[in-house]
Amino acid sequence: MAPVPDGLVAVVKRDCPTCALVEPVLQQLAGAGALTVVSQDDPGFPAGLPVTDDRELEVSWRLRIETVPTLLRVDGGAETGRVEGWLRSAWETFTGVEDLGPGLPEHRPGCGSRSVEWGVEEELARRYGGSVLTARRVELADLEDDVEAVYARGWSDGLPCVPPTEERVLRMLGGTSRAPDEVVAVVPPDLVECTVEKVAVNAVLAGCLPEHLPVVLAAVEAACRDEFALHGVLATTWSAGPVLVVNGPVTRRLRMNSGINVLGQGDRANATIGRALQLVVRNVGGGRPGEVDRATLGNPGKVGWCFAEADDGLRPFPPLAESRGVPGSALTVFAGAGLVPFLDQLSRTPESLARTLALVLRTVGHPKAALGMDALVVLGPEHGRVFREAGWDRERLLAELEPLLVLQPDELRRGALGIAEGMPDALLDRPLPKFRPGGLLLTYAGGPAGMFSAVIGGWASGATGSTPVTVPIEEA
C-alpha cells in the first residue's frame, strides 16, 4: 500500500447516512486545501473528487478505522489527530475551516467501519499484518469435515470442538495484551513450552470467547507450577483433575456462574475455561487418557471444571483467593477427585452444622485415612447463612472443625471396625488430624434455595502430592 499523503484524510463509505450527509463538507474541504478521500465501498463516492479505492480495506485496517466518517490529519507520514462522526464545531476546529456544512444538522453519529465487521478484522490482520502466528498450518481437503477432522487428528476430548482457524485464533489473541510468542508455562507430562498462541488455539477448540483468554492463561500458569504437580495428577490412578475456582471482578465481567447449578452445565465461561485448560494439557503437554493419564475411574470434571465463588454480599467469609494472599481477580487450582454433595436441613446453629460437615469430611479418600488428601468445601448459601448469622468467619469455622477432624488410633488401625484398610501401626502412637495444616479450603457458591453443600476431595497432598495454587488474573 502506498503511504497516505500528508494533510487531511477522510475515510468514508457510501453505505453510511452520515457519510452521505457530509459529502458537501468534503467538497468544501477539498476546495480549501489538500484532502485525500478514502472510500471503503465505492470509488465513485464522493462524486467529483479524487478517491482512493479501499474496497480491499487495507488502508482502513492500517489506519485502524473503527467509525466512518473519520477525518484524520497526517504529518510526515504519521497521524497527528482524528475526529469521528460528524460534529460541525469539532470539524471546524480540527480543520481550521469555518462555516462547514451550512444547513446540515449540527451533529450525527457515524457508522461502523467495514474493516471492523464480524470476521473481517481478523481476515484483514491475517492478510495485511504479516501473521503473528507460528503454529503449523493443517490443510484440509475440500470435502473434509472440519469438525470431524479435529476428532481424527486426536485434538478433541471426545466432544465436538471449534476448528481453530487462523482468523479465530487471531480473534482469541485480541483478548490479551500479552505477546503471542510469550511462554506461559512448561506443560507436563511432555514438558513442552506453551506460548500464549498455543493457549489461544486450545481456547478456540474449547469454545471460549476472547474475553475468557486471560482466565485460561492464569489457569495454565497455575496448573503448571511445580507445587501443583500436574504430572502426578495425570499419572495417578486416582480420579483427580484440576478444579478452577475464580474470584473477583472478572467473574462479573464474564458473567460466570456462581449461583444456581454452579457446579453443573449451562454457563459458557465456566464450561469452556475449564475445558481449555484440559485441552492444553492434552494437546500441548501430551496428557491423554490411556497414556500418561492413568485414572482408574476419572470423573466428569476432567472434561473441564471451573466455577466462580459467589459475591452476593451475604457470604460468611472473604473470597478464597483473598484468604490465600491474592486479592482481586484471581484463580485457584485444586486437584479435585469428584463431588460429594451433602444435606443438613435441620441444623440452625453453627456448632451442629460444623459437626455435619466434619462427618462428611472424614470420608474423603477413606474414613480411616488421615493426612493423605486435601479437600475443597463448597458451602451453599443457606448453610453459609447459618455461619454468617452466628458471626463465624473462615478462621472460626476452621478452628471449630479442627478438633472434630482428629482421628483416634483405635478407629484408624488396620482391621478396626472389621475393615482391613487403615493407617500403618507405626503412625498410630497418637491421634492424627484428617487434613494437613492448610489442607482444607472453604469456598461459597450455589443457588439460594436448599440447605445443601458439597465436598470435593483431593489427591495426595503436600510435598508428596499436589498443593493448591492461587495466581492473579491479568486482564487485558
Any idea of the CA torsion for 234, 237, 239, 240, to the nearest 10 degrees?
Answer: -30
CA–CA distance, 258 with 277 (Å, rounded to integer) = 19
CA max distance for the chain: 100
The CA-CA-CA angle for residues 200, 202, 208, to 5°, reads: 75
378: closest CA among 437, 349, 336, 346?
A: 336
Assign a CATH topology to domain 7-116: Glutaredoxin (3.40.30)
From the CB of residue 109, how many other CB atoms can be counted at a distance below 10 Å? Answer: 11
The reported pLDDT for the residue numbered 134 is: 84
Residues of the chain with CATH 3.40.30.10: 7-116
Cβ neighbours of residue 108 closer than 8 Å, sequence gap 6 or more:
17, 18, 21, 85, 86
> CA distances (Å), 38 to each of 13, 44, 175, 297, 432, in order?
8, 11, 30, 63, 77
From the CB of residue 217, how many other CB atoms can be counted at a distance below 10 Å? Answer: 28
The reported pLDDT for the residue numbered 476 is: 66
Cβ neighbours of residue 62 closer than 8 Å, sequence gap 6 or more:
1, 128
The reported pLDDT for the residue numbered 462 is: 85
What cell was used for 163? 476448528
77: closest CA among 24, 134, 4?
A: 4
Cβ neighbours of residue 152 closer than 8 Å, sequence gap 6 or more:
none
> CA distances (Å), 149 to each of 136, 317, 393, 460, in order?
15, 48, 52, 38
Q: Which residue in this structure is represented by grid cell 460466570?
A: 256
pTM of the model: 0.82
Q: Block means of pLDDT (10 residues each) for the chain, length 476 residues?
A: 84 96 94 90 93 95 95 93 96 94 95 92 81 83 91 95 92 93 96 97 98 98 97 96 98 97 97 98 96 95 97 94 97 97 98 98 96 96 98 97 96 95 94 96 97 97 93 89
Angle subtended by helix axes 213-223 and 196-206, to nearest 10: 110
